[in-house]
Amino acid sequence: MSSRIVGGRLSSKWLIFCAFLVILMILHMPSWIDEIDPIALSATESSFLVPTHGGNLSDSKAMKKKYFVHTSKCRIPYIDPFSEGAMKLYSPRLFIPCSNESELVSAIYNPNLRRYVLHINQAVAHQLLNSTEKEFNCFYREIKHGKKADTYDMLNPSKYFSQGYVVPLHVEGMLLDCETAELPPITLQKDAYMFIQYREMPAAAKPTKHTPRKPSVIMYGIDTLSRINLRRTMPLVHEYLRGPGWYEMQGYNKVVGDNSFPNIFAILSGYSPEKAKEHICDTDKSGCLDEIPMIWKYFKNASYLTAYAEDESSSNTFSYLKPGFSKTPTDYYFRPFLRALEEETVNYHCPGCRMVYCMGRRLANSYVYDYCRQFMQRYVKERPIWGMFWSNHFSHDDYFMPSAMQHKVLGDLLDYERDGAFEDTIMIFFADHGVRYGTLLDLDEGYLEERLPMMFIYLPPWFREQYPEYSAALELNQHRLSSNFDLHNTLKHIIELGGTPDGPKLPKSFDCPTCQSLFYPIGESRTCSEAGIEEHWCTCEPYKTIGYLGWSNRIAPRVIERMNEYFVHKNLSHLCSNVSLHYIHKTEIKTGLDITWNGELPQLETAVYRTKFKVQQNSADFQATVVFNNITEVVELDVEKISRTNSYKEDSTCINDKIAKLYCICFSDLKS
């Protein structure tokens, strides 16, 4: 009995002591958190998640909340990629090999000859022949650039080759075919190779001892991959990217538009398509893309060799509902070879995949990333290069498919490392945006998935040594708000580094005069508009869901009216159905960083709202960010900035306008 009383007293003392500790911890919150979690993306609590009554132990878990960015004007919360909600949706995808056979013919680069040599693997031949006796022959057909920049020619006839064949310098691509010598011949194996053939450096381009060393820049891109989904689907790749020399721009926020084109265009040109249309030319018009001062033109002028490669010709950044290039844009340009691969090899689509998964006996992306590898092997030790290598096919349609590709991508990085490429090259490992439609977007953190593409920058050791202030700035900027336009300026900065110190300064991002190179510290108080990021895409300021109050439901119908007016204005009324509200998924109000709303909404006449709703026509989903006046009921918004949050592929086949396609439900596609 007495011991129980003692016990009781003890535990109440303990309780008081614990409560005291908790209060202490709360009073000293910032330093306490830093101690617990030193890499913490810095962490005082933001008002929108933590209830203002303190002292509840179960809340202290929320207080350890981490951030990608935590500055005075911007708080981008860190999202647990393995959250319960996400894990309910996530299932890793199975890697499907394109072929189980070993390669019969290997193309091996001989650095002394500076030529590719074809090696026929006899053991594989015996296996495929089921015999060590039988004879076989190998032939190739050359793939050449066609007359137009985007086309190819296949040269006839097939050329016979034997062991140790030295590929002529003019051959940049080939399809090969080995077959038995009997009649009729049986095909043993078909394959395809694209070559980065060595080109001598013009004397004028040779560096003099007065010019600083020029770093090569390689951009390795994967379509549709947020930093959150990278961590979820490719944890091994993410682990690799945490290694020395790598910096993750955790505050990198896409600037505009739904899809790849405007976001990549911003990086490569410093313009939005609208501003380019005003000041240079209309990117929808044939020939315009040739006129745009793309970054590779500046690199070329600074005597860099340039390359561009992408897979999936119909969804290419510059060709999906865009005219593409009419002149070959870069020194090495992969697109004609891609067209040949798509036309001349057996294409395999994985189950449910729209894009081509295998071309011939290899993965679609392997041609692109192998082209990248050869480009670096050929040149990085000798002269500066710039290249962009981009894959759509495995990540664009199924946002969990990168899980199947993680060993492939990690393998690429390890290959580049083994080749020594990272001793010389700045690498940008990046995406254009995150998931744009589907169930992941229904999660509370869905808007972050969409807006926060992965962005990693690698600086080689010599560069870090030569420019310690730039690497220090890049390190700091990992947790500052940054954008595509900053990356554009960084590329220009790199070009300037290789020139004479008093050489001409290059024009910076046209669309964002307040943007800067990531090699300079970004201001602590930077806002989205200062980084060229539109309100609708800005992840800096939190939103709070408003319950189904009658008045908040007045916003979506106003947005829908504006969409219908848009169809009239764009002369699309005869093709696109007017839309009408089915139901509202959710309405949120922007809370601002400093407001502590204790459950109650303050009375504001105008505020920024985000509303996500479904229309009756084909159950299409949209999300709009608007300024709404609660008294006058006026909404301010630009219809072309509304997000479409489910697939529009089957809804807008009657029009080609890249933007209107997001909103138009064609009469011809209406489902009853």
Ligand X SMILES: *[C@@H]1O[C@H](CO)[C@@H](O)[C@H](O)[C@H]1NC(C)=O
Is 224:450 a contact under the CB 8 Å cutoff? no
Q: Which stretch binds ligand X (CB under 6 A): 21-29, 465-473, 560-568, 613-621?
A: 560-568
Candidates 16-24, 95-103, 209-217, 614-622 — which segment interacts with ligand X by CB under 6 A? 95-103
Q: Could you tell me which residues come within 8 angstroms of residue 114 by beta carbon, excluding any fewer than 6 positions away?
A: 198
Task: Tell me how far apart the alpha carbons of residues 286 and 274 are, in angstroms, rounded to a whole number.
Answer: 16
Task: Write down the least CB distance from residue 560 to ligand X, Å.
Answer: 9
Distance CA 470, CA 519 (A): 4
CB 143 within 8 A of CB 340: yes
Six token digits for residue 22: 């908790």
- Closer residue to ligand X (CB): 201 or 607: 607
What minimum distance in Å lies between the beta carbon of 471 and ligand X? 27
Q: Does 297 bind ligand X (CB under 6 A)?
A: yes
**Per rule CB under 6 A, is residue 514 in the interface with ligand X?**
no
| Contacting residue, 16, 186, 205, 670, with ligand X by CB under 6 A | 186
Report if residue 60 touches ligand X, rule: CB under 6 A: no
Nearer to ligand X, 462 or 551 (CB): 551
Burial class, 250, CB count within 10 angstroms (exposed 0-12 / middle 13-18 / buried 19+): buried
**Least gap, CB of 565 to ligand X (angstroms):** 5
Separation in Å, CA 487 to CA 249, 457, 477, 501, 537: 10, 10, 12, 21, 17
- Judged by CB under 6 A, the number of residues near ligand X is 27
Per-position x/- string for 299-328, each x denoting binding to ligand X as judged by CB under 6 A, each - no binding: --x---------------------------
Shortest spacing between CB 19 and ligand X, in angstroms:
11
Calculate the alpha carbon distances from 640 to 72, 558, 622, 635, 659 in Å: 30, 15, 12, 14, 7
The residue assigned the tokens 């947790």 is: 479
121 binds ligand X (CB under 6 A): no
Residue 192 pairs in a beta bridge with: 175
**By CB under 6 A, is residue 557 in contact with ligand X?**
no
Q: Which of 58, 156, 632, 672 binds ligand X (CB under 6 A)?
A: 58
Does 298 engage in binding with ligand X (CB under 6 A)? yes
Q: Any alpha helices (H) in 322-467, and if so which ranges? A: 335-344, 364-379, 402-418, 446-451, 461-466
Q: On the CB side of 487, how many CA atoms lie within 13 Å of its CA?
A: 33
Stretch that binds ligand X, among 248-256, 304-312, 429-437, 603-611 (CB under 6 A): 603-611
**Residue 347 interacts with ligand X (CB under 6 A)?**
no
Q: Name which of 340 and 579 has its Cβ closer to ligand X.
A: 579
Considering only residues 562-591, where is the footprint of ligand X by CB under 6 A? 564-565, 568, 570-571, 578
Residue 135 CB, nearest approach to ligand X (Å): 11
Q: Which of 99, 158, 377, 646 binds ligand X (CB under 6 A)?
A: 99
Residue 157, preceding peptide bond in cis (omega within 30° of 0):
yes
Task: Decide if residue 137 touches ligand X (CB under 6 A).
Answer: no
Peptide bond into 212 cis (omega under 30): no
Q: Which stretch binds ligand X (CB under 6 A): 69-77, 148-156, 292-300, 449-457?
A: 292-300
Query: Could you give the CA distance from residue 35 to residue 31 in angstroms, rounded to a whole number?
Result: 6
Query: Is position 130 an interface residue for ligand X (rule: CB under 6 A)?
Result: yes
Q: Does 180 help bind ligand X (rule: CB under 6 A)? A: yes
515-554 residues in contact with ligand X (CB under 6 A) are: 551
Cα torsion 230, 99, 178, 156: sign:
negative
Q: How far apart are CA 36 and CA 357, in angstroms?
A: 45
Contact residues: ligand X, CB under 6 A: 56, 58-59, 97, 99-100, 129-130, 180, 186, 293, 297-298, 301, 551, 561, 564-565, 568, 570-571, 578, 601, 603-604, 607, 630
